[in-house]
Amino acid sequence: MDDLEQSTAALLEELDVLRARVAMLEQGEGLQESQRIAALSRDVGVALVQDMPLQQSLQQCAQAFVHHLDAAFARIWTLNIDAQVLELQASAGLYTHLDGAHSRVPVGSLKIGLIAAERLPHLTNTVIGDPRVSEQEWAKREGMVAFAGYPLLIEEKVVGVMALFARKPLTPTVLDAMASVANVIALGIDHKRVEDEREHLLLEEQQARDQAEAALQVRNIFLSAISHDLKTPLTAIKGTVQIWQRRAMRAQALDISQLLKGLDLIESATRNMTVMIDDVLDLAQLQSGQQLELSISQLDVVALVQQVAAALQATTTRHRIRVEAAVPHVLIPGDVVRLDRVMANLLSNAIKYSPQGGTITVTVSQEGCEDKSGGCAVVEVSDQGLGIPAADLPHIFDQFRRATNVTGRILGMGIGLANCLQIVRQHGGTISVTSLEGSGTTFLVRLPCNG
Stretch 245-274: mean pLDDT, rounded?
70
> Helices (DSSP H) in 123-171: which residue ranges?
136-142
Number of domains in the chain: 3
Stretch 77-89: mean pLDDT, rounded?
95
* Same-domain pairing of 282 and 301: no
Q: Contact 279/415 with Cβ under 8 angstroms? A: yes
Q: Looking at the whole model, is its pTM more than 0.75?
A: no
CA dist., res. 211 & res. 189, Å (int): 32
Confidence of residue 403 (pLDDT cuts 50, 70, 90): confident
* Same-domain pairing of 267 and 335: no
Question: Which of 202, 235, 259 is where one domain is finished?
Answer: 202
* Same-domain pairing of 77 and 124: yes
* Same-domain pairing of 316 and 429: yes
Chain segment 123-146, per-residue pLDDT in tens:
999 999 999 998 999 999 999 999
Strand segments (E) across 326-427: 331-335, 358-369, 372-382
Rg of the chain (C-alpha set): 38
CA dist., res. 402 & res. 410, Å (int): 10
Give the residues across from 84 on adjacent strands. Answer: none
Q: Is the pLDDT of residue 13 over 90?
A: no
* Same-domain pairing of 50 and 149: yes
pLDDT at residue 413, rounded to an integer? 60
Strands 358-369 and 319-325, sheet pairing: parallel
pLDDT at residue 51, rounded to an integer? 83
CA dist., res. 273 & res. 311, Å (int): 13
Residue 243 lies in a domain: yes
* Same-domain pairing of 55 and 192: yes
Burial class (CB in 10 A: 0-12, 13-18, 19+), 233: buried
Residue 208 lies in a domain: no
Phi, psi of 269 (to 5 degrees): -65, -40
Domain housing 344: 295-448
pLDDT at residue 264, rounded to an integer? 72
* Same-domain pairing of 301 and 248: no
Confidence of residue 34 (pLDDT cuts 50, 70, 90): confident
Q: Is the pLDDT of residue 345 over 70?
A: yes
Confidence of residue 267 (pLDDT cuts 50, 70, 90): confident
Residue 209 lies in a domain: no
Residue 210 lies in a domain: no
Stretch 103-126: mean pLDDT, rounded?
95
* Same-domain pairing of 119 and 37: yes
Residue 279 lies in a domain: yes
Residue 371 lies in a domain: yes
Residue 99 lies in a domain: yes
Question: Which of 202, 227, 259 is where one domain is finished?
Answer: 202
pLDDT at residue 172, rounded to an integer? 92
Q: How many CB atoms lie within 10 A of CB 85?
A: 18
Give the residues across from 365 on adjacent strands. Answer: 378
pLDDT at residue 254, rounded to an integer? 63
Q: What is the CATH number of the domain that holds 268?
A: 1.10.287.130
Chain segment 157-210, per-residue pLDDT in tens:
999 999 999 999 999 999 999 999 999 899 888 888 888 788 888 888 888 888
pLDDT at residue 78, rounded to an integer? 95
Q: Is the pLDDT of residue 83 over 50?
A: yes
* Same-domain pairing of 193 and 243: no
Q: What is the CATH number of the domain that holds 18?
A: 3.30.450.40
Stretch 304-308: mean pLDDT, rounded?
94
CA dist., res. 207 & res. 323, Å (int): 49
- Which of 4-18, 208-222, 260-274, 299-313 is the least confident region? 4-18
Stretch 396-407: mean pLDDT, rounded?
78
* Same-domain pairing of 237 and 132: no
List, in order, residues 6 or more apart from 283 with CB less than 8 Å away. 399, 415, 418, 419
Stretch 338-358: mean pLDDT, rounded?
91
Work out the percent of the chain whose per-residue pLDDT is above 90: 45
Chain segment 366-393, per-residue pLDDT in tens:
987 554 456 899 999 999 999 999 999 9
Stretch 91-110: mean pLDDT, rounded?
93
* Same-domain pairing of 45 and 150: yes
List, in order, residues 6 or more apart from 49 with CB less than 8 Å away. 11, 15, 188
Among 291, 438, 305, 292, smallest CA distance to 365 is for 305
Residue 440 lies in a domain: yes
pLDDT at residue 266, rounded to an integer? 75
Question: Which of 153, 181, 202 is where one domain is finished?
Answer: 202
CA dist., res. 239 & res. 359, Å (int): 27
- Which of 5-19, 29-43, 96-110, 247-261 is the least confident region? 5-19
Q: Contact 194/8 with Cβ under 8 angstroms? A: no
CA dist., res. 90 & res. 404, Å (int): 50
Confidence of residue 292 (pLDDT cuts 50, 70, 90): confident
Q: What is the CATH number of the domain that holds 432?
A: 3.30.565.10
* Same-domain pairing of 173 and 226: no
